[in-house]
């Protein structure tokens, strides 16, 4: 029994230490966002990195999410004779919930994992040590541009996901299932408020911070060798995905 | 001058440095040798301030860098140039970008001023004309030479070489040794070289220190080290697998 308690205590302490370390890393990174010199070139490069890596996957998942939503919602709404609400149903689901969450999960899998691997490789090949030895702060050079880029790019990718999703829903709802185009869009105007769009925006902003924070941290403090980088990359994707879903619930409860 | 006083460092329960004492005079080149994993790189990382000791001090020009805050430490690091084991070149930058990086980030030199310095540095290491290549397109020896050019570009007063010839063939190893010698003559830096290349390294170094069991067991000019009666030094120089150094 004593042995079991020791194991639990040691595990808890280790988790708390890691959490503290992660929050210190975040606080340090957020501090350097506001302290000049600002690295605009690096920021632009990382915006391109996130956008370029994730655009195709966002377009694909966005369109198919909209299409499958149209199919399922149409089936449910038909039971209540409310097929006309298909447009607003799709738009509200996408803008408030599915757009921010699914696009964040997709970017995590595509760009977030690449980010962890890249920073991890820089760590094991001593490039991060080289920056420090040159009296250049690696947080400012490597982490800050990624966090700011993610905060900028996530809402933009979410907006693209939403628009493509709504268009995907239109293709199925209007072109295949026969709802009129006017009904699909006009009721959307009536039911979707600016507040709904802002909920999605707040979510995607916070997901951008969470994903870049976790992925950068895991890469920055990666283990030894290729195995260490591989493990960090997996951990970064799993932890980011869980945090996205947990934070989505809490933020959703607050913003409802 | 670099002075290492009673330096101790452990990782979890593993003691790596167990009271290292070493004085390195200005403008001398000293080689630290010892078996793989004995703590040579850990020692050099303490001089850069990448690791902090459990006990002891590292004095650079009389200032204990283990007691400096981050800003003061960065100021001290401006005196250093480091050639890392694998070169540590930035993959996303060209050879030119890598060598120019410390100047463009840390000085207010004009673009043409930086260009002149980079071209000269690359010429010094025999890589003129390779400016547009990326690290992935270079051989191991070329990477080390680019890293050397980058380490020297700010004309530091102290240059640390962490196994500059590991993994290179004897001809390239010899060319890197010649480069260390010629650049030392040109720039007059204090050099700390970590190397296993005995006896070749003796030709370019003023003194040699042997790290064994976490302490410096012998320091001297190459002739003294070659004639040393210390069993660990003798075993290392002869490459024998029998002796106090466990394989």
Alpha carbons A115 and A49: distance in angstroms, whole number: 9
Point out which residues pair with B207 in neighbouring strands: B30
Burial bucket for residue B136 (CB in 10 Å: 0-12, 13-18, 19+): exposed
CB-CB: which of A130, A135, A137 is closest to B88? Answer: A130
| pLDDT score for A100 | 96
| Shortest distance, CA A125 to any CA of chain B (angstroms) | 6
pLDDT value at residue B198: 84
**Phi and psi at residue B169, in whole multiples of 5°?**
-75, 165
Q: Is B90 on the interface with A (CB under 8 A)?
A: yes
Looking at beta carbons, which residues of chain B come within 8 Å of A122? 91
Residues B106, A126: C-beta atoms closer than 8 Å:
no
Has residue A126 got a pLDDT over 90? yes
| Position B246 pLDDT exceeds 80 | no
How far is residue B67's CA from residue A143's CA, in Å, rounded to a whole number?
Answer: 26
Q: DSSP character for A179?
A: -
Q: What pLDDT is recorded for position A163? A: 96
Angle at A151 between CA A150 and CA A157, to 5 degrees: 70
Q: What is the mean pLDDT of residues A178-199?
A: 90
- Rounded distance between C-alpha atoms, residue A65 and residue A61, angstroms: 6
- Does B84 contact A at CB distance below 8 Å? yes
Q: Which helix (H) or strand (E) holds A8?
A: helix A2-33
Among the partner-chain residues B74, B85, B89, the one whose CB lies closest to the CB of A135 is B74
Give the C-alpha separation, B25 to B59, whole Å: 12
Out of A177-186, B45-54, B225-234, the most confident range is B45-54
pLDDT of residue B124: 86
Q: Pick the residue with more confidence: B241 or A240?
A: A240
d(CA A254, CA A198): 13
Residue of A nearest to B74 (CA): A135
The yes-or-no verdict on residue B196 having pLDDT over 90 is no
The pLDDT of residue B175: 87
Does the pLDDT value for residue A147 go beyond 90?
Answer: yes
Element (H, E) at B11: strand B2-11
Q: Kindly provide the ipTM of the predicted complex, given to two decimals.
A: 0.89
Average pLDDT over residues B14-42: 93
Q: Do B106 and A130 make contact, defined as CB atoms within 8 angstroms?
A: no
Q: Rounded to whole angstroms, how far apart are CA atoms A184 and A179?
A: 7
Residue B241 pLDDT greater than 90, yes or no:
no
pLDDT in tens, A28-63: 999 999 988 888 999 999 999 999 889 999 999 999
Q: Which of B144, B139, B178, B181 is nearest to B162 (CA)?
A: B144
Which residues from chain B sit within 8 angstroms of residue A127, using beta carbons?
A: 88-91
Q: Is pLDDT of A255 > 90?
A: no
pLDDT tens-digit profile of B73-125? 999 999 999 999 889 999 999 999 999 999 998 888 999 999 999 999 999 88
- Judge: A135–B82 Cβ closer than 8 Å, yes or no: no
For chain A, how big is the Rg over CA atoms in Å?
Answer: 21
Query: Cα–Cα distance between A158 and A202 in angstroms, integer?
Result: 11
| pLDDT 10s digits, A64-96 | 999 999 999 999 999 998 888 999 999 999 999
Residues with Cβ within 8 Å of A45's Cβ and at least 6 positions away in sequence, in order, are A145
- The model's pLDDT over B128-182, given as tens digits with 9 standing for 90+, comes to 889 999 999 999 889 999 999 999 999 999 999 999 888 888 888 888 899 899 9
| A50: closest CA of chain B, how far (Å) | 16
Tell me whether B78 touches chain A (CB under 8 Å). yes
DSSP code for A36: S
């Amino acid at each position: 029994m004593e042995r079991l308690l020791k194991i639990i205590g040691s595990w808890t302490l280790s988790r708390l230490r890691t959490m503290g370390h992660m929050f210190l890393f975040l606080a340090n990174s957020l501090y350097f966002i506001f302290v000049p010199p600002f690295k605009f070139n690096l920021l632009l490069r990382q915006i391109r990195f996130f956008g370029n890596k994730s655009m195709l996957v966002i377009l694909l998942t966005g369109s198919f999410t909209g299409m499958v939503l149209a199919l399922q919602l149409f089936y449910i709404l038909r039971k209540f004779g409310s097929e006309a609400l298909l447009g607003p149903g799709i738009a509200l689901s996408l803008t408030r919930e599915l757009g921010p969450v699914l696009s964040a999960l997709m970017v995590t899998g595509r760009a977030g994992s690449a980010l962890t691997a890249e920073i991890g490789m820089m760590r094991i090949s001593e490039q991060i040590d080289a920056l420090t030895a040159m009296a250049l702060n690696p947080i400012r050079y490597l982490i800050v541009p990624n966090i700011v880029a993610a905060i900028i790019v996530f809402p933009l990718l979410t907006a693209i996901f939403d628009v493509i999703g709504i268009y995907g829903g239109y293709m199925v709802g209007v072109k295949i299932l026969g709802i009129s185009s006017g009904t699909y869009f006009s009721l959307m105007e009536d039911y979707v408020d600016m507040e709904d769009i802002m909920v999605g925006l707040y979510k995607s902003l916070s997901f951008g911070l969470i994903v870049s924070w976790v992925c950068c941290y895991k890469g920055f403090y990666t283990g030894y060798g290729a195995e260490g980088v591989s493990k960090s990359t997996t951990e970064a994707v799993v932890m980011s995905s869980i945090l996205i879903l947990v934070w989505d619930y809490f933020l959703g409860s607050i913003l409802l | 001058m670099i002075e290492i006083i009673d330096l101790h460092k452990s990782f979890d329960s593993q003691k790596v440095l167990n009271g290292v004492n070493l004085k390195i005079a200005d403008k001398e080149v000293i080689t630290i040798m010892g078996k793989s994993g004995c703590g040579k790189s850990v020692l050099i990382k303490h001089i850069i301030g990448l690791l902090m000791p459990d006990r002891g001090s590292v004095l650079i020009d009389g200032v204990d860098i283990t007691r400096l805050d981050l800003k003061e430490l960065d100021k001290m690091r401006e005196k250093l140039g480091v050639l890392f084991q694998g070169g540590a070149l930035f993959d996303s930058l060209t050879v030119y970008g890598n060598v120019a990086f410390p100047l463009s980030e840390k000085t207010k030199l004009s673009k043409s001023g930086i260009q002149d310095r980079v071209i000269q540095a690359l010429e010094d290491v025999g890589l003129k004309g390779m400016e547009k290549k990326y690290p992935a397109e270079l051989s191991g020896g070329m990477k080390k030479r680019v890293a050397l050019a980058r380490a020297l570009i700010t004309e530091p007063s102290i240059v640390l070489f962490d196994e500059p010839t590991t993994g290179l063939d004897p001809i390239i190893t010899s060319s890197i040794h010649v480069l260390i010698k010629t650049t030392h003559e040109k720039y007059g830096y204090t050099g700390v070289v970590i190397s296993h290349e005995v006896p070749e390294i003796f030709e370019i170094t003023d003194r040699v220190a042997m790290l064994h069991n976490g302490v410096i067991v012998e320091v001297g000019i190459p002739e003294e080290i070659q004639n040393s009666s210390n069993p660990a030094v003798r075993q290392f120089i002869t490459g024998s697998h029998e002796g106090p150094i466990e394989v």
